[in-house]
Every structure is written in structure tokens, then in C-alpha cells.
Amino acid sequence: MLVWEKAPAKINLSLDVLYKRPDGYHEVEMVMTMVDLADRLEMHELTRDTIILSSQAGYIPLDEKNLAFQAAKLIKEHYGVEKGVYIHLDKKIPVAAGLAGGSSDAAATLRGLNRLWKLGASQEELMKLGARLGSDIPFCIAGGTAVARGRGEQLTRISAPPQCWVVLAKPPINVSTSDVYGRLRAAEIPKHPDTDAVLEAIRNGDFQSLCGSLGNVLEDVTLSLYPEVERLKDVMLKLGAEGVLMSGSGPTVFGLVAKQKKAERIYNGLRGFCKEVYAVRMLV
């Protein structure tokens, strides 16, 4: 038996931190959606009680440090499955990029193994299980577009943003999400993103207002550490992207573009600055 799953990248159309909680986590408010830049996971049933992970990417861990491995172990233990699985991960999403690649792989693993081992778990059950591994995983299981609150695990599904092209560029630096959150002074944020404006633009299908209301409170932290991220934002704007934002804790910057021709022009222009550039559709 074999199943496969697509694991798309996530972008934040807005990311706000409301305050730091007594338990040390940040209370967030984020609007998230998915783009058509995806890893692909193939899962083969094994009669032997073991988990084996392989990947064409030489730069990610293939043991218990990998979130797909952790997800396989978790669902196997939770449902008392005695069979094993061989997972091949075809990695396309840049790593440590602010695109939740690892979380999406974990989500795809939970969805895939639920089918492979015929466990009959509902999406809700998978989301609960996934939340144990990471706050972004429930969203990656559900997909679509959502507002996330709490640590990111409390989701309200909303309608899809207006369809458009998304040009993504990842400068050659690795950003640690926990380092960026660690440096954020939640009580001293000068200007919070206007989440309500993002939600209204989506509700109205108003592409220009959406582009004008994008915001990410982590940008100031990452941009002060890595000025090249700011330069990349400027280049993307100069090339004509209608709205530009850093995704998650970065360093990936994305630009929203209405027309394919313009997306192609921006893509070609950026390739001179950056090796990792993608032009994809928003997933709706």
C-alpha cells in the first residue's frame, strides 16, 4: 500500500503579537493562507514495526529531529499501530524560511498515515494530535485560509483571499524562529498590523486593500538583524509587486501580484539578487 500527500507552504498575510503570556508563549493573531509551493510525501506501508524517512534534500535531519518523523511516531503510538512506514520526502519548500515547511510535512504525514493505516481519525482529531508537535500544524492540517489566535493553534476559517500570484524570495540566511520571538519586546511594539483591515479586504475580495494592509510585527526584529531582507523587500517593490511582506519570522519575503506577466517579470528580476526565487499561485 502507498499513499502520497502534498505539503504546501504557508504565508502570513498578517502576523501580530498581542502580548507575552505568563506561560512564556506569545499570544498571536495571524492571518494565514497557503501557496502552491509544496513538498511531496510518499508513504509506503511496512510490515516491520519501524519508521524510515528518506529525502533527496541533503540538508535536513532524517531522524527523530524531523517533524515528519515525529508525526509518524506520534500517530503510530496514539493509535497503537504495529505496522511500520517508509516515508520519502521530496523537499521543495526552503528550510528555516518562515514558510512552515516542517509543520506542513508533519501535517501531511498525519493525513497520509490516517489513510494508509485506515485509522478513521477526523480532521479535528488529527489537528489536536498535531498541536502537540507544533502550533502551526493544526492550520497545516486544515489548509485554506484562517485567522489563528492563542499560540497559533486556535483557528477560525475564513474565505479565500482574492486569487493572485505570489513571488517568494529567500535570501541565503537561516533565521531561528525562537531567536526572533526571543528578541521581540511585545510590550513595546510601536505599530501593530491592522488585522481587521486584512480581514475586511479578504471579505470584500479587494486585492489592492489587501496589499495595502499586509503587516508582520516580526519584520522589525528580523530586518534589524539582517538588513538584506529589507533590501529584498525594496527590490521587490521597485520591480512592481503590489504588496510585499516578510513571512513568519523570515527571512523569506513574498510579493503579491495580480497579473502573471508581471509576476514573471519580478521573478526574472529577482533571480539576479537571490538564488531561491519562486512564482506560484495562491492556493484557494
Residue positions annotated with a catalytic role: 10, 136
Question: Quick one: which of 14, 103, 195, 216 contacts ligand ATP (CB under 6 A)?
Answer: 103
Output the smallest distance, CB 106 to ligand ATP, in A: 7
**Contacting range for ligand ATP; rule: CB under 6 A; set: 28-36, 60-68, 157-165, 196-204:** 60-68
Residue with cell 541565503: 172
Question: Quick one: which of 20, 62, 119, 177 contacts ligand ATP (CB under 6 A)?
Answer: 177
Q: Cα-atom radius of gyration of the chain, to the nearest Å?
A: 19
Q: What stretch of H or E contains 67?
A: helix 67-78
Told to check if 152 binds ligand ATP by CB under 6 A, we report no
Question: Quick one: which of 15, 16, 101, 168 contacts ligand ATP (CB under 6 A)?
Answer: 101
Told to check if 12 binds ligand ATP by CB under 6 A, we report no
Residues numbered 183 to 222 that lie near ligand ATP (CB under 6 A) are none
Buried b (16+ CB within 10 A) or exposed e, 93-104: bbebbbbbbbbb
- Residue 175's alpha-carbon distances to 98, 102, 283, in angstroms, are 8, 14, 25
Residue with cell 526574472: 268
Told to check if 14 binds ligand ATP by CB under 6 A, we report no
Q: What stretch of H or E contains 147?
A: strand 145-150
Question: Quick one: which of 38, 60, 246, 280 contacts ligand ATP (CB under 6 A)?
Answer: 60
Query: Could you tell me which residues are beta bridge partners of residue 55?
Result: 89
What is the maximum span of the chain, computed from C-alpha positions, in angstroms? 57
**Contacting range for ligand ATP; rule: CB under 6 A; set: 65-73, 115-123, 153-161, 269-277:** 65-73
- Angle in degrees, CA 7, 153, 245, rounded to 5: 65
Residues numbered 238 to 277 that lie near ligand ATP (CB under 6 A) are 248-249
Told to check if 162 binds ligand ATP by CB under 6 A, we report no
Output the smallest distance, CB 256 to ligand ATP, in A: 19
Q: Indicate the residue type of 198.
A: V
**What does the binding site for ligand ATP look like in residue numbers (CB under 6 A)?**
60-61, 65-68, 95-103, 105, 136, 177, 248-249
